[in-house]
Amino acid sequence: MRILVAEDERITRTTLVRQLEGWGHQVTAAEDGEQAWEQYQSGAFEIVITDWEMPRLSGVELIQRIRAGGNTGEGDRHDGAAYVYIIMLTSRSNKSDIVGGIEAGADDFVSKPFDKEELRVRVLAGERVVRLERTLSRQNDELRAAGERMRHDLEAAARVQRAMLPRENITTSHVRSAWTYVPTDELAGDAIGLHLIDDRYLVSYVVDVSGHGVPAALLAVTAMHALSPAGEGSLLLKGADEGEGIGRVNNPSRVVAELNRRFCAGDNDGRFLTMILCVLDSHAGLLHFARAGHPLPVLVRSGKSLAVSEDGGLPLGLVDSMDYEEVVLQLEPGDRVALYSDGFIEQPGHSQAGQFGDARFAALLTGATQVLPERLVTDSVDSLTAWAGKRSFVDDVSLVVVDWLGR
Amino acid sequence: MARIFNEAELLERVGNDIGFLSETAEMLTSDGPPLLEQLGAAVAAGDAAAVGRLAHTLKGMVSNFCAPSVQTCAMELEKMGKGGDLAAAGPALEVVKQGVSELTTELLDFIKARA
């Protein structure tokens, strides 16, 4: 250990230094408190042993300066804040010195005239504390660095995930659509998509992976990738040997079944996915959708929420070779369809009891028929924020709104 | 005749190193007299604070030689100074001077006999 000894009386100082050096320590001696303070600032001491009464600067003043944050320069100090163990030398009779010294920041005391063995074990205790503090400090640094690396990785992953979201809302002379997506953490377990194929077929979907964090996000990204119409082998677009389809687009029931097959074949770490996939022939107003354990879409017509078929199937990744029902609806001009994740309806209120709920959500949609989809999705998140008391939700929140304008 | 210092305790304290004991005894012979001189001046001037501070240093100095009687005398003088009452300081200082003188002489004799 590097030890600084502050003692104005020469014989005691010499004896202390000799003892400490005999035990293998590197010792620096100071003749008074002020000199000790100067040496402390230019050295890298792990233990300070100081007398109480000294000329120029007393032991207690020296301790106060050290504890106020004085650095000991370079050495192996991590950030100028490494702990220095302080032992105070005091008269055996003077208890008030002990109390005052420890209150000022001393860790221990040794009575004068000091006993050799007592001094040895007190210094030993100091060594233990110093080593423990250095180890903890190093581990803290390592943890901080690891946390920083993970944060960077998560941010990079979140950027990748965001890049897969729809670029913009889609509006044509037949259809007007908008979406919103609020992840609860850096990475989301929700996925949404909005694609216009051949200027006619509007594909929209919401996927919700069970759980949160990186595993859920990886599955969400996998689903988005499989459903992208851009890549080779997209599930969305028909292959040459595939059936009828909706224009060039595969039927939603077929796409959902194939996605289920793929997720059942892989290792999903015990997770499953719910999903709703819609294909709207925007020229004919014919809406096809298939559901895998996902909340029903909300269909709003003339300011009212209409019942839609509950046909569907189990969530993806649970049972292989599932068939999924396909529901087909003929829309009327002005009809509005909303797809969403359960994060929207299951959000607890900050003061009110219970969740946001289906009824409140439906009322939000039916009460805003004159509001354009792009404004509606923003207003909806604002309403949920007011309900939650903050713009931070317990689950990922996704919403896609599609208005069919007519033929 | 018993020595003014505890021989066994002192030897244990210096790890039976007579050379080191000799070094510290020399420090006593060089640092002791000027300190006692300053103490005398402080007593004469009635400077109680200085008496307390200097007697404290002297107490620490002699404590290294396991001489409890001399240490106690120095402590009494320190108390007088810190208590601000120097009425008995003059005689007390004489006792301390006598004690330090005896300690120094006995130490040097002891070291010489062991060398």
Handedness of CA B104, B110, B114, B115 (dihedral sign): positive
pLDDT band of A78, cuts 50, 70, 90: very low
Q: By CA distance, what is B71's nearest residue in A?
A: A113
Tokens, residue A199: 């200027």
CA–CA dist A174, A284 (Å, integer): 9
CA–CA dist A88, A106 (Å, integer): 6
ipTM of this model?
0.91
* The residue type at A342: D
Tokens, residue A373: 């989809």
Q: What beta strand segments (E) does chain B contain?
A: none
For the cut 50, the answer to whether the pLDDT of residue A77 exceeds it is no
B51: Cα within 13 Å, side-chain hemisphere: 29
**Does A21 touch chain B if contact means CB atoms closer than 8 Å?**
no
With 0-12 / 13-18 / 19 or more C-beta atoms within 10 angstroms meaning exposed / middle / buried, residue B46 is exposed
**Does A346 touch chain B if contact means CB atoms closer than 8 Å?**
no
Tokens, residue A353: 């009891």
The minimal CB distance from A116 to the residues B13, B23, B24 is found for B13
Mean confidence (pLDDT) of chain A: 90
Handedness of CA A140, A142, A143, A144 (dihedral sign): positive
Residue A24 φ/ψ region, left for φ over 0, alpha for ψ in the -120 to 50 degree band, beta for the rest: left
pLDDT at A75: 43
Judged by CB atoms closer than 8 Å, whether chains meet at B57 and A8 is answered as: yes
Tokens, residue A314: 């189990």
Work out the number of other CB atoms within 10 angstroms of the CB of residue A97. 20
In this structure, of A42-56, A66-80, A291-305, the range with the lowest mean pLDDT score is: A66-80
For the cut 70, the answer to whether the pLDDT of residue A240 exceeds it is no
Assess contact for A349 and A355: CB atoms under 8 A.
Answer: yes
For the cut 70, the answer to whether the pLDDT of residue A63 exceeds it is yes
The minimal CB distance from B31 to the residues A10, A22, A53 is found for A10
Tokens, residue A327: 């529901």
pLDDT in tens, B76-94: 999 999 999 999 999 999 9
SS3 string, chain A, reads CEEEEECCCHHHHHHHHHHHHHCCCEEEEECCHHHHHHHHHHCCCCEEEEECCCCCCCHHHHHHHHHCCCCCCCCCCCCCCCCCEEEEEEECCCHHHHHHHHHHCCCEEEEECCCHHHHHHHHHHHHHHHHHHHHHHHHHHHHHHHHHHHHHHHHHHHHHHHHCCCCCCCECCCEEEEEEEECCCCCCCEEEEEEEECCCEEEEEEEEECCCHHHHHHHHHHHHHHHCCCCCCCCCECCCCCCCCECCECCHHHHHHHHHHHHHHCCCCCCCEEEEEEEEECCCCEEEEEEEECCCCEEEECCEEECCCCCCECCECCCCCCCCCEEEEECCCCCEEEEECHHHHCCECCCCCCECHHHHHHHHHHCCCCCCHHHHHHHHHHHHHHHHCCCCCCCCEEEEEEEECCC
CA–CA dist A299, A287 (Å, integer): 11
CA–CA dist A106, A129 (Å, integer): 13
pLDDT (average), residues A62-81: 64
Interface of A with B in 193-232 (CB under 8 A): none
Output phi, psi for B87, to 5 deg: -55, -40
Helix H or strand E encompassing B74: helix B68-83
Chain B positions in Cβ-Cβ contact with residue A10 (cut-off 8 Å): 27, 31, 61
Among the listed residues A262, A238, A255, A249, the one whose alpha carbon sits nearest the alpha carbon of residue A195: A249
**Does A31 touch chain B if contact means CB atoms closer than 8 Å?**
no
Which residues on neighbouring strands pair with residue A242, listed in sequence order? none
pLDDT at A80: 52
The minimal CB distance from B61 to the residues A11, A18, A91 is found for A11
Chain B positions in Cβ-Cβ contact with residue A91 (cut-off 8 Å): 59
- pTM assigned to the model: 0.66
The number of angstroms, rounded, from the C-alpha of A72 to the middle of its chain's C-alpha atoms is 37
CA–CA dist A345, A340 (Å, integer): 9
- % of chain B at pLDDT higher than 70: 99
Helix (H, G, I), strand (E, B) or coil at B4: coil
For the cut 60, the answer to whether the pLDDT of residue A49 exceeds it is yes
For the cut 70, the answer to whether the pLDDT of residue A200 exceeds it is yes
Judged by CB atoms closer than 8 Å, whether chains meet at B63 and A8 is answered as: no
More confident site: A373 or A167: A373
Judged by CB atoms closer than 8 Å, whether chains meet at B27 and A10 is answered as: yes
pLDDT at B1: 61
- % of chain A at pLDDT higher than 90: 65
pLDDT at A14: 94
Q: By CA distance, what is B14's nearest residue in A?
A: A15
Chain B positions in Cβ-Cβ contact with residue A15 (cut-off 8 Å): 13-14, 24, 64
Assess contact for A110 and A119: CB atoms under 8 A.
Answer: yes
Task: Answer whether the bond into residue A113 is a cis peptide, omega within 30°.
Answer: yes
Q: What is the CA radius of gyration of chain B?
A: 14
Q: By CA distance, what is B13's nearest residue in A?
A: A116
For the cut 90, the answer to whether the pLDDT of residue A99 exceeds it is no
CA–CA dist A122, A164 (Å, integer): 63
pLDDT band of A244, cuts 50, 70, 90: confident
Chain A positions in Cβ-Cβ contact with residue B60 (cut-off 8 Å): 9, 11-12, 51, 112-113
For the cut 50, the answer to whether the pLDDT of residue B12 exceeds it is yes
pLDDT in tens, A202-214: 999 999 999 888 8
Count contacts between A and B (CB, < 8 Å). Answer: 43
Choosing among B56, B75, B79, which should be mutated to test the A contact, i.e. which has the most A CBs within 10 A?
Answer: B56
**Does B82 touch chain A if contact means CB atoms closer than 8 Å?**
no
Helix (H, G, I), strand (E, B) or coil at B47: coil
Work out the number of other CB atoms within 10 angstroms of the CB of residue A92. 12
**Does B60 touch chain A if contact means CB atoms closer than 8 Å?**
yes
For the cut 50, the answer to whether the pLDDT of residue A73 exceeds it is no
The number of angstroms, rounded, from the C-alpha of A183 to the middle of its chain's C-alpha atoms is 10
pLDDT in tens, B55-74: 999 999 999 999 999 999 99
Relative to beta strand A2-6, strand A47-51 is parallel
CA–CA dist A402, A365 (Å, integer): 12
Judged by CB atoms closer than 8 Å, whether chains meet at B24 and A9 is answered as: no
pLDDT in tens, A161-176: 888 899 889 999 999 9
